[in-house]
A = this chain, B = another copy of it.
């Protein structure tokens, strides 16, 4: 039942000796969804013992080199590791040609197929769905088309409270109906409402990924009340001018977005390489002035989101 983020890289355009370029992995029930693929991602995947064969879907926010230069090596390694399963890539349209160019010029034929799914840079849309998960892309504001992603767990079946099945001798057909939300009607006796016979439902967990982007309140509706928000925080307050000029965000602005969107937790990352490790704490302080529940990204950070039940009034 895992819903767990691993951060593989947390630097912005320049890697440092401590921080690799952007890449995240979201583990949803042991399926691994890769988000962005900066140079060195395949090495970071190995370090974090994430099996390459578990990755079937890669989401790319935008086509700046620091978010994609690890993709070519990773695709090549998939091939060398005898992958045959289709790989799905969700990215802005021009990358399709870029991947084809790379394979033709530096690789040769791959044993597996790449299914390319172009993102719409202009509006929110659902880009992926399976039994457990839906993924949405939505526009960010950056110097080139850039998309955020929202990963939302599907509603889970209700569980029948312990003892009820045996006590009332409930049939298999009835069990399924109750799990789907029906009340239980015993042969003799009064109707038992669904809320009484089932545990409170689990809340749908969610993860929102917002980088690269300027401060942009128009993302708020797309990420409202997410369990976890990763938002870029390239700069400190003192470099806000530069954030504006380059269409990046400050740590404080990331905190503001988290606060206005009412998310539960914020992780900030994509730090400019100008800040030494000891200076990055300042970014944390600035973000926390806006949103207390903020933490710093670091390479190798594992952040599980635990299932929890919704309270019933």
Name A residues whose Cβ lies closer than 8 Å to a Cβ of B. Answer: 13-17, 20-21, 39-40, 42-43, 46-47, 63-66, 68-70, 72-73, 76-77, 80-81, 94, 98, 101-102, 105-107
Chain B residues within an 8 Å CB radius of A77:
13-15
Q: Are A65 and B107 in contact (CB under 8 A)?
A: yes
**In the complex this chain forms, how many copies of it are found?**
2
Q: Are B69 and A43 in contact (CB under 8 A)?
A: no
Sample 27 A-B pairs with CB under 8 A, ordered by A number: A13-B80, A14-B77, A14-B81, A15-B42, A15-B43, A16-B46, A17-B43, A17-B46, A20-B43, A21-B73, A39-B39, A39-B40, A39-B42, A39-B69, A39-B73, A40-B40, A40-B43, A63-B105, A63-B106, A64-B106, A64-B107, A65-B106, A69-B72, A69-B76, A94-B105, A98-B105, A98-B106
Chain B residues within an 8 Å CB radius of A81:
14
Say whether, besides A13-B80, A40-B40, A65 and B69 are in contact (CB < 8 Å): no
Bound CA span A72–B47, Å:
23
Chain B residues within an 8 Å CB radius of A101:
98, 101
- CB A285 to nearest CB in B, in angstroms, measures 26
Say whether, besides A46-B16, A81-B14, A73 and B63 are in contact (CB < 8 Å): no
- CB A239 to nearest CB in B, in angstroms, measures 15
The residue of chain B having its C-beta at the shortest distance from the C-beta of A103 within the complex is: B65
Bound CA span A73–B102, Å:
15
